[in-house]
Amino acid sequence: MNKDKNIDDQIREFLAKDPVPELENWEVNILTQRVLARVEKRAPRRFFGIRPAWGIGVVAVAALLLLAIWIAPPQLPEQALMPEDLAVLIIDEEPEDMLYDAISGGELEVETAFAEIIDIDESEAEKIYYSYAEDEIDAAINLLSDEEVENILQYLDEAGYSGKEEVIS
């Protein structure tokens, strides 16, 4: 017990002697400004109400999708799960929002989303994960199909994700 206590104290002592560098005031100011500037730059993620241009976009995408479904031959289920076939835009943004929030809020890991929820093999999941920059996670999520979004909702529901009620109701 004493030995444990000693190690504990030693670790704290050495960490105290090896302090984390202090940020200068100007660095904190720049950090704050950059964050606020990035927040300003980013467009609101809601389609309806806030930005009418999004509404027009959604209608256009929906029309294109209907056209594509009407023209395209039916796909085999195996093909629908392949990464290169994920480019089906979802019209309902809520699950996408929820997934984005779950990942960026630290409640869900991106690999989990790709590897476990979307049910593609691990090497493919890793390839996809590393092909997206962190800032592009939401762009990657935009590529999910309706079926995958359904799986995600089910997963989040089973995992007890706290925000699910707001979205599913």
Inter-residue contact 117 to 151 (CB < 8 Å): yes
Using rule CB under 8 A, residue 131 touches other proteins = no
Which tokens go with 169? 């109701």
**Closest distance of CB 107 from other proteins, Å:** 7
| Interior angle at CA 130, CA 127 and CA 133, nearest 5 | 145
At its nearest, how many Å lie between other proteins and the CB of residue 124?
16
Choice from 1, 14, 49, 84 touching other proteins (CB under 8 A): 14
Structural tokens at position 64: 């294109």
Residues in the chain: 169
> How far apart are alpha carbons 56 and 48 in whole angstroms?
10
Pick the piece of the chain touching other proteins (CB under 8 A) from 18-26, 55-63, 64-72, 113-121.
18-26
- Which residue shows structure tokens 């939401």? 138
Site string for other proteins, 45-84 (x = CB under 8 A): ----------------------------------------
Residues that bind other proteins (CB under 8 A): 4, 7-8, 10-12, 14-15, 17-18, 20-21, 23, 27-28, 31-32, 34-36, 38-39, 42, 101, 104-107, 109-110, 130, 134, 162-163
